[in-house]
Copies of this chain bind each other. A is one copy, B any other.
Amino acid sequence: MFDKITIIGCGLIGSSILRVVDKKKLSKQINIFDKSKEASAFIKNNFPVKIFNDLAESVQGSDLVIISSPLSSYKEILLTIKSSLKKDVILTDTGSAKKEINKIVSNLNLDNVHWISSHPIAGTEFSGPESGFAELFNNRWCILSAENEKENHQLSLLKKFWEALGSKVKFMSFDDHDYVLSLTSHLPHAIAYSIIRTVINNDDKFKEDIIQYSASGLRDFTRIAASDPTMWRDIFIDNSDNILKVLDRFSENLEEIKKAIKSKNSDKLNSIFSSTRKLRKEIIKAGQETDKPNFGRK
């Protein structure tokens, strides 16, 4: 599919891409840059790739360059590689917020570079190259965004690449992406962090009990809140406008529930709790979920 691919940043996502590219032979050569010596050593010992200590060198001659590092590192990376990019290279990334990084790329006025952003909606609560696995993208959505949404050779090629990785691909504008994801992913994360901080108060004399009896209700939040802190810090800063807006909406909904509890309004609570049940059915129908109890967990 490609002669040469460069992956910049080989954590959970980058190393999972690497695993599929290697397994399915999607590129004749794979270049890797990771600023961590340990990550580079791990990759070198386990995969047939070329490891670079020099970032600019790592992208030379590559047909596809994938930035898979925290959002806050993009600007420096782009400034370092911009003069070394091959003519007509496809430049992409795997970040979870798009509008701000698109501004950065646009301001660089890159010539003969096809910038198409990717967001594979996949992940676990683990990070680092050891955590990656080739099946991570299987049957998961990957959202592509570009200034010019017109189908062209590079867009088709990148779409095929993600499909080869196992993903289902959709196109969305940078703005729409950031709004939709602020609701489906960023809001739940903000809330999960707040819950954990509320529940685990080190001064609480019941701390041990709380951890011991953490029912499945709390358990799911801890998984969310255990994700990579740097990645999430960057998302919250880059997509702050949308996130603050939906957090305000959330607070309004929470106040409504509080009011119903305070006044012991049975009918209101019943209607609130019944309304949310429907949504789950729609999500199951949309194929994002199993209808087995407890997700089929044991």
Is the Cβ of A270 less than 8 Å from the Cβ of B213? no
In the complex, which residues of chain B have a beta carbon less than 8 angstroms from the beta carbon of A261? 190, 236-237, 240, 243-244, 247
Is the Cβ of B293 less than 8 Å from the Cβ of A188? no
List of 5 A-B pairs having minimum Cβ-Cβ separation, nearest first: A124-B293, A229-B273, A188-B217, A220-B220, A225-B276
Q: A125-B280, A280-B223 are in contact. Are A215 and B184 (CB under 8 A)?
A: yes
Size class of the A contact interface (CB-based, 8 Å): 35 or more
In the complex, which residues of chain B have a beta carbon less than 8 angstroms from the beta carbon of A262? 240, 244
Kindly identify which residue among B133, B187, B213, B233 contacts A199, using a CB–CB cutoff of 8 Å: B187
Given contacts A143-B213, A184-B214, A237-B264, 19 further A-B contacts (CB under 8 A): A72-B266, A121-B213, A126-B293, A179-B206, A183-B198, A184-B199, A184-B217, A185-B217, A187-B198, A188-B221, A190-B261, A199-B246, A212-B288, A219-B288, A223-B289, A226-B277, A233-B266, A240-B262, A244-B262
Number of copies: 2
Is the Cβ of B217 less than 8 Å from the Cβ of A125? no
Is the Cβ of B288 less than 8 Å from the Cβ of A180? no
Q: A213-B121, A219-B288 are in contact. Are A258 and B244 (CB under 8 A)?
A: yes
Q: A213-B180, A222-B283, A236-B261 are in contact. Are A197 and B276 (CB under 8 A)?
A: yes
Kindly identify which residue among B190, B220, B237, B244 contacts A266, using a CB–CB cutoff of 8 Å: B237
A258 to B143, CA, bound (A): 27
Residue in B closest to A249 when the chains form the complex, CB atoms: B198
Q: A206-B179, A230-B270, A244-B262 are in contact. Are A217 and B199 (CB under 8 A)?
A: no
Is the Cβ of A172 less than 8 Å from the Cβ of B209? yes
